[in-house]
Structure 1
Amino acid sequence: MRTKKSQVNKEEYMFSFIAEQATSGQPVKSFCARHGVASGNWFYWQKKYQQRNLESHNDNGSFTLLQITPDVVGPIESGIFAEYKGMKIYRPVPASFLKELIG
């Protein structure tokens, strides 16, 4: 049975590992292989890392989650391209516009 302290230490290690990979500029697969960590473990811990950051940002109300999907190919069936806080955008706009909108 794992102790809570060992779990916290592992979490701290993996979160620093996730941050290190992000700043390294290396692909996940090669970064993990170089450090002897299975890429599946890396993705598991990345998800936990993102959840932790999302929770901490939501606590102070300063973060809005926005999912940007790849460009749509062909006509937009529903007529609505994006909706944010009740504001509807009916045509494709650049991602930079969406970032300014929520910023």
Structure 2
Amino acid sequence: MRTKKSQVNKEEYMFSLIAEQAASGQSIKSFCARHGIPSGNWFYWQKRYQQRNVESHNDNGSFTLLQVTPDVVTPVESGIFAEYKGLKIYRPVPASFLKELIG
């Protein structure tokens, strides 16, 4: 019967190999062959490793900072944004407004 301690040691060992392979830049196939790991086992442990990382990031109770910047409209140097049939528009307007004006 497998003990919980041996399972934890195996998990730590496999997770260290996954990190080593990612850092090495070596293909999974050649890395597994070099370490004698069946590719099916590799992908099983890789999935568990990814799930563990997602859980650890989600369980810390923190928020991710999201910075929203407003759209910046650069002023037109001449002062006139648009002119159509004698109508002068001095500020930027949405394209939909200009389409309605022309249509």
TM over 0.5: yes
How far has the Cα of 1:59 moved from its partner?
1.1
The alignment of Structure 1 onto Structure 2 pairs a total of residues equal to: 63
Matched ranges for 1:1-103 at <5 A: 1-60=1-60, 61-62=62-63
- Alignment partners' CA distance in 1, 2:33 and 2:54: 28
Q: More displaced, 9-18 or 54-63?
A: 54-63
What percent of counterpart residues are identical?
A: 83
Residue 13 of structure 2 aligns to a residue whose secondary structure is helix
- Alignment partners' CA distance in 2, 1:58 and 1:21: 25
Instruction: Give the superposed CA RMSD.
Output: 1.2
Where does the alignment leave 5 or more consecutive residues of structure 1 unmatched? 64-103
Instruction: Detail structure 1 runs of 4+ shifted over 4 Å in the superposition.
Output: none
Pair member with larger Rg: 2
Where does the alignment leave 5 or more consecutive residues of structure 2 unmatched? 65-103
